[in-house]
Amino acid sequence: TTSGDAVELVEESLDVNLLNNAVRLRIQGCPFLPGGVHLCEVQSHLVVLLITGQTVHRLLLPHPARMYRSELITESQMQSVFTDIGKINFRDPSNYYVIPSVPGLASNSVASAAWLSSEGEALFALPSASGGIFVLKLPPHDAPGTVSVVELKQSSVMQRFLTGWMPTAIRGDCGPSDLPISLSVHCLDHDAFLFALCQDHKLRMWSYKDQMCLMVADLLEFMPVSRDLRLAAGTGHRLRLAFSQSLGLYLGVYMHAPKRGQFCVFQLVSTESNRYSLDHISSLFSSQETLVDFALTSAEIWALWHNEENQTVVKYINFEQNVAGQWNQVFVQPLPEEEVTVRHDQDPRETYLEYLFLPGRFTNAAIQKALQIFSQGTERHMDLTWDELKKEVTLAVESEFQGSVTEYECSPEEFWQLQVEFWSKFYACCLQYQEALSRPLALHLNPYTSMVCLLKKGSLSFLVPCSLVDHLYLLSNEHLLTEDDAAIFDDLEMSRDVVCLVQCLRLIGESISLEMAFIMEMACSRLQPPEKAAEQILEDLIANDTENVMEDIHSKLQEIRNPIHAIGVLIREMDYETDVDMERAHHLNMRMNLTQLYGSGTAVNVVCWGVCKIATIRFLICRDLLILQQLLLRLGDPMVLGGGQLFQSQQDLLHRTSPLLLSYYLIRWASQCLASDVPVDTLESNLQHLSVLELADTTALTPHKLVSSPQTIVELFFQEVARKHIISRLFLQPNTSLAETSLNWPHLITAIVADFLPLLWPSNPGFLFPECLMGSCQYTQLQEYIRLLQPWCHVNMGSCCFMMGRCYLVMGEGHKALDCFCQAASEVGREEFLDRLIQPEEGEMVSTPRLQYYNKVLRLLDMVGLPELVIQLATLAIMESADDWRSQATLRTCIFKHHLDLGHNSEAYVALTQNPDPSRQLDCLRQLVVVLCERSQLQDLVEFPYVNLHNEVVGIIESHARAVDLMTHNYYELLYAFHIYRHNYRKAGTVMFEYGMRLGREVRTLRGLQKQGNCFLAAINCLRLIRPEYAWIVQPASGAVYERPGASPKRSHDGECTAVPSTCQIEILELEDLERECVLARIRLTLVQHDLSAAAVAGNSTPEETVALLVRAGLFDTAVTLCQTFKLPLTPIFEGLTFKCIKLQLGGEAAQAEAWDWLAANQLSALVTTKESSATDEAWRLLSSYLERYPSQNSLYHRCVINKLLAHGIPLPNWLINSYKRVDAAELLRLYLNYDLLEEAVDLVLEYVDAVLGKGHQYFGIEFPLSATAPMVWLPYTAIDQLLQALRESTANHYNVMLYQKLHDKMEDYQQKVSVATRDRLYRR
């Protein structure tokens, strides 16, 4: 569009959404000529040729086909050809030229033409100031050259008039009457024909190449002419060309005359020797309206007028077939109502907002401009989304309103009145801008696709073919009944009947007031029967019939031969119900032209508004038809009803019309219902739900950011789902007529709308529309859709219930959702959507359809996190699965799981016991045990009766007890409680003993040993509760032998599986054994309490190892107790204590201080208080007391102590020598000899001999010394001999020699006394 020195260029595509597709160019001080924008297409470029009053310009834009290299396009957006327009150098001398002053542009003509030659030159034809035409030629854009100007002047030519050929010489310059007022060009291979319609009503044809006029035709020859017209300058004439490969070149001329106009259509005819003439095809007269623009094809004229009321009128005519010369009306979108009716029970703000923002009523631009003016230009409102705009409008009007209310108090009526006043003021503002923006400026006709568009200031309108029924209803009576139009059907009588019927409907429609129309709207919205509403409207019509409309209708009805049949035909024409579901879409794996066909927002908008328009008109037709049927019923005249037609068939038709009306109401509602903007997280959660239902592939899910113009749910459906279905049906199916044809707009748009309506039709088996709404998260809209549908539509009832359930689920109303899901179950197996829902997965167990349905819903409820509802539904499903134990097992498992999750332990247990599948039952049991343990609900776990499951429970708890960490889980204690609760004490004892053993093995800490002691005590307690003969348990096997389910096999070093030992010896433990183990455990604990570092080794040590550890720690009393319990020798204790005495004797102060710790742990005999006692003294005293307290056979302990001392070179204390002399002097002598202590040995022998002889015999434990009357005595002669021998051998030492002599003498003396005693004894005997 051009306005002054600015031009607005907009690129529109029906296939893809274009980015940066609008540009505004301004050439300062150079106003554009009207129609001075010409677009030419070459292989690599689009060339825009611009003509202003002073200059001509050439713009080179990239060709859309070159915008993407890839042929396959998957995106829904691409860059417009204007994207890089900012990079163009508009001042490039090769692409613009200033119009020269000679010959100069004619000031009183706005005609122009521009074209590209076959060589790529840009040519501009302009009216010359001196009359005639001059042509500016710019050289090709990619070749150097200069601009040339050629003026076309007339020379001699053969002119053909209708009377025949006559030669005329025309010389000299053109007069101003010859000034071109409309120019058109027809390009040939190497030439161009220029057609000029001049002020003198003549048409001149020029050859640019030859620069000569080839033809002049006086057009007044073809119209009724008055003298005034011939003398007046023809300023309003228009010229258009249309070329067809088969028919040649057509010229359409509009001859303007005051109060009338005429179209003439000619065909250019060429004869031999380059002579041309016009063949008159048709003359068509038009009404008195002002012509804005017209377009010509090889068969039709399309014209755009403004009438006296300044309203837009568009008409077309087929000039070849229309004998009567009657124009066809195009029903243009009317402007919104001038006033909005607000009832007193309505809120003005809500009513006006609803009316303003109803899709398709006002454009975003109109509301934004009105807002700008209304808020007095304080803010700039640019690029607001529909919702943002709504908020801004509300704020602006409310703030104006608040500012004007000066009174603190006003009555509700005054308040309401003020609101209406301000809102109507804003509404008037919007209406004004809407009117300005929707004013058509020109017609655009695409010759290749036969598409006709209206170019408006703010938008582009597409003309879409109207269906026959709608055409008849919309057409006014004066245009209706010509013979051609009446022959609608093959049967002429039937055609007349239908036309008369539609006329009756029009009469009814025209007499219905707004209040009456509102009755039907409310009935449909409130789900009341439309028949009742129609009856009420009829009564109102009869009551208010001031213009005798009823009589007119009655007389019209008399003309209908068979009303029942005619109504049936009309209903059939409007019904889109199909018997079978439309085949689901093929994958459109094709080139750009099909995958993207009609995929842009513009195309979606056109298709959906086409559907909305049809639904709106047909709703009115059905409404009027219902009223007419009620009238027929009321009349009840057999003559009117066509020869006694049955009342029943009339009722049937009534009941067929009612669903039709409601179907169109629903489609109209959906076409005006806005889609919601969905957040990404909602989309993602919806996608998860759909993946559970395995429906995720039905729609391509993308977050819809609704910018500038809002999207309705029908547009959403067409864009996401329906378009692919329809295109694949039209183009990919065999025997399809459209596949062979070009993309003819009227045929294709009609076919698409005709295929789209069945997809939206509520009573068809296909369920794609609600499915798409669900997939796109339009839950509120889906709920309203189903609400409007459910009372009267009995198709897909189950699917609707399921969808409603999904909506409730998302809204957080779970119980309502469950009711809906249960209702839907009855329709499973009967509806396509539900059948698709229950298709089993690969490897899934196939059960009955209803069970599969329940399974899907259970999964959905589970994902949403509604366990109570899962339990309810699963319980319901169990009733269905009476004969299918596998399904029962699955459902019982499901019930168990959710009861358990909810903490309903008893119910979970009941569900578990009712499970018919033993393996699942065992799984549930295992889960019950683990979960209740984790929750510490052990009382429930222990107290359940476990009928027929006792061993399984024990096995599960045992396997868990043996498999998990002992300190974090208390499965052994649970098992102990389990057995105690059932009075099974031996098993309880076994469990605690095993627990204790494992604690010692695996938990080598102080806490572990404390627990171990308690375990053994508990085990002892258990056995003491049993009769003695049964008080025994089986020794538990060591940990490695337990067969744990799922454990990996043990392997040897070469990788082979080691053989499991087939038999293992059973060991019986009695009470005494347990008591011993308990003692050992207690002693280990004592040890670890004294020395924590010992915990790592003490935990599982044997009694012998424990003794060693105790000795090392200095706990000698405890060690003695352990040795006595397990009947072990005390030797290690004496050795250890002796060693500690030695260390103390040799150690320093630190050793002394440390010693008190372990000395304190042992029970010492009464302390000596007479003198200060050291740790060393106390240690020796402890040793001495032990030797006294624990006598041994053959003085074993003395010997080991002395051995230890002598081994370390420590002199023997006197008390030890004295005590050992009393016990075993001979052994002491041998020890002295072993360690080479000769002097001590000699002293000992001398004392020993004296004792035997009676001197100090009590010190050597000799009761009776040597005498003839006493028992026999003896000496260790072998040892004494060894001593003597040793002394004899060491003669080098003088001292040893003395010792030897002394001992030798003593022995000699002893021998003599022995001899005497022996003799005396023998003598006495």
Q: Tell me: the pLDDT tens digits for 24-57?
A: 999 888 898 888 899 998 888 899 999 998 999 9
370 confidence band (pLDDT: 50, 70, 90):
confident
Most confident of 839-843, 975-979, 1041-1045: 975-979
The two beta strands, 55-62 and 96-98, are antiparallel
Greater confidence, 363 or 532?
A: 532
How confident is the model at residue 685, as a pLDDT? 80
Q: How far is CA 409 from CA 401, 402, 578, in A?
A: 14, 12, 61
pLDDT in tens, 488-520: 666 788 888 898 999 999 999 999 998 999 999
d(CA 1308, CA 1301): 10
d(CA 1066, CA 1141): 46
Please name which of 985, 987, 991, 929 lies closest in space to residue 960, comparing C-alpha atoms: 929
How confident is the model at residue 227, as a pLDDT? 63
What's the chain's Rg over C-alpha atoms?
59
d(CA 264, CA 164): 20
How confident is the model at residue 1040, as a pLDDT? 44
Residue 1163 structure tokens: 């029970």
The answer to whether 907 and 899 are in contact (CB under 8 A) is: yes
Instruction: Give me the residues paired with residue 793 across strands.
Output: none
How confident is the model at residue 196, as a pLDDT? 92
Average pLDDT over residues 430-455: 89
1152 confidence band (pLDDT: 50, 70, 90):
confident
pLDDT in tens, 622-648: 999 999 999 988 887 554 444 444 567
Share above pLDDT 70 across residues of the chain, in percent, rounded to a whole number:
88
pTM value?
0.78
How confident is the model at residue 1224, as a pLDDT? 84
pLDDT higher than 50, residue 170 = no
pLDDT higher than 70, residue 228 = no
pLDDT higher than 90, residue 1000 = no
pLDDT higher than 50, residue 434 = yes
Full strand arrangement of the beta sheet holding 2-3? 2-3, 6-10, 22-26
How confident is the model at residue 688, as a pLDDT? 80
H or E segment and range at residue 1034: strand 1032-1034
How confident is the model at residue 165, as a pLDDT? 33
786 confidence band (pLDDT: 50, 70, 90):
very high
How confident is the model at residue 1225, as a pLDDT? 84
Residue 661 structure tokens: 């009306």
The answer to whether 1162 and 1182 are in contact (CB under 8 A) is: yes
d(CA 182, CA 200): 12
How confident is the model at residue 480, as a pLDDT? 59
Residue 258 structure tokens: 């005051």
Share above pLDDT 90 across residues of the chain, in percent, rounded to a whole number:
32
d(CA 755, CA 731): 12
782 confidence band (pLDDT: 50, 70, 90):
very high
Q: How many CB atoms lie within 10 A of CB 1064?
A: 10
Most confident of 297-301, 478-482, 733-737: 297-301
Sequence-ordered alpha helix ranges (H) in 1161-1293: 1175-1189, 1196-1207, 1214-1234, 1238-1252, 1277-1289
Q: How does the average pLDDT of the chain come out, rounded?
A: 84
How confident is the model at residue 702, as a pLDDT? 47
How confident is the model at residue 1254, as a pLDDT? 80
pLDDT in tens, 1205-1219: 888 888 888 888 888
User: Which of the residue ranges 298-307, 480-489, 927-936 would you say has the lowest mean pLDDT?
Assistant: 480-489
Q: How far apart are the first and last CA of the chain?
A: 166
Contacts of 1065 (CB under 8 A, 6+ apart): none
How confident is the model at residue 72, as a pLDDT? 45
d(CA 203, CA 490): 45
Extended strands (E) in 1114-1207: none
Average pLDDT over residues 398-426: 82
Q: In 3-state terms, what secondary structure has residue 261?
A: strand
How confident is the model at residue 1051, as a pLDDT? 61
